[in-house]
Structure 1
Amino acid sequence: MDDNTFWALIEDSRQQSGNPDERLEALREQLARRAPTEIVAFQACLHRVRQPVDTWDMWCAAELILDGRCSDDGFWYFQFWVIGLGRAAFDRAAAEPDSLADVPEIRRLAGRRMDDWRDDEWPDAESLDYVAGEAFDLATGEEDGFEGALEAAGLDLPCSPEPDDAEWDVTDAGEVARRLPRLSRMFPPAPRSGGVSGRP
């Protein structure tokens, strides 16, 4: 599956509904109508297109939005959420993480307590990583056959963030403001102690 086909599937499901669960259901149904090899290829493509947002700047953006509570898993799910925004927004965010300040879904969260966020507002799309496996089960009737299909295709996909760009101190408020000026204003970082460098 090439990138254009992958993004067409993402965009089509996004147009189906404003509800994340309904979008995933639409995507699952589309994938289940495809050949098993294409469903496996979708999963491979998902992880290939994800790589440009697996960076320290993007992790810091997630940290700001999530009020300093973005774990490894949280950032992993955040990356899939950025994919779910569609190709244009994804490409802008990959090139400049601070452009997430322009995304309506992010703007709606600014200035609000996280306790007040609805479940469907959270910048988290964990289920996008599972949708191909669910579609594979529907298409083949083989429960739990997806992992075997990935292995047969020679795919050993990651399961956690692995930024390979230059690591920096994401607790340095001045550096955060320099790299992500708009998000820093929208989601002022909470004061921290200890000055631990690197991974949130």
Structure 2
Amino acid sequence: MDNDSFWKIIEECREKAHGRAERLAWLKDELARRTVKEIVGFQVCLDRLCEQAFTWDLWAAAERIFGGWCSDDGFCYFRLWAVGLGQAAFERAVRDPDTLAEAPEVRRLAGRPRGGWGDHWPEWEELDYVAAEAYEQATQVSGEFATFYEAVDALQSDDELVRDPLGKRWDVRDEVEASRRLPQLSSRFPITMQP
């Protein structure tokens, strides 16, 4: 599966299903109808895109949205969520994380208490497991996750492992720097002491 095929599936999912649970079910069924090679390829594409988004600037955007802090796991799930925004929004966010402020999924959160975000919280951990679940459904062999991840690893064997985010880390709580680097997000998501 190449990037174009991957994004076509993500875009179709965005059109046909709403809400995380419905989107996950749609993706799982769609992938399960495909070949094992395509299912594995979907995960490889997803992993590569998440690595492209592994930058300090995007992490700072996540921290700004979350109120000044975002864990390693939280940033992983945030990047998966960013993929779920679709190709155009994802690619803009990787180039310029402040463009996330323009995404409807982010605009609806601005000004609302984080405790009330519920299912709109900008993370999508489950997207990272949907291909493995589709693989299990397609092969009709329960517990084949090890085989699935071995196939993913084999396709990624030539990929260079990115251990640290790209760019330079900076403090999103520095209002002057945040206003310069993330003006829209800084305006819409002021840092408060309470999450």
Q: How does the TM-score come out when normalised to structure 2?
A: 0.89
CA contact (8 A) 1:54 1:161 kept: no
CA distance in 1, matches of 2:174, 2:67: 15
Task: Give identity over the alignment, percent.
Answer: 49
What stretches of structure 2 of length at least 5 have no aligned partner?
Answer: none
SS of match in other structure, 1:9 = helix
Instruction: Please tell me whether residue 123 in structure 1 is matched to residue 122 in structure 2.
Output: yes
CA pair 126-161 structure 1, distance change in 2 beyond 3 A: farther
- State the Cα distance separating 1:147 from its structure 2 match: 2.5
CA distance in 1, matches of 2:8, 2:80: 16
CA distance in 2, matches of 1:58, 1:115: 22
2:179 maps to 177
Moved more, 31-40 or 48-57: 48-57
Instruction: Please tell me whether residue 24 in structure 1 is matched to residue 24 in structure 2.
Output: yes
Letter in 2 for 1:177: S
CA contact (8 A) 2:60 2:171 kept: no
1:140 maps to 139
CA contact (8 A) 2:67 2:191 kept: yes
Moved more, 43-52 or 130-139: 43-52
- State the Cα distance separating 1:162 from its structure 2 match: 3.6
> RMSD between aligned alpha carbons?
2.0
Counterparts of residues 1-200 of structure 1 (less than 5 Å)? 1-118=1-118, 120-152=119-151, 154=154, 155=156, 162-190=164-192
Q: Give a deviation string over 1:41-62, Cα, whole Å, max 9, x none.
A: 1101101122222111111111
CA contact (8 A) 1:76 1:161 kept: no
CA distance in 2, matches of 1:116, 1:166: 32
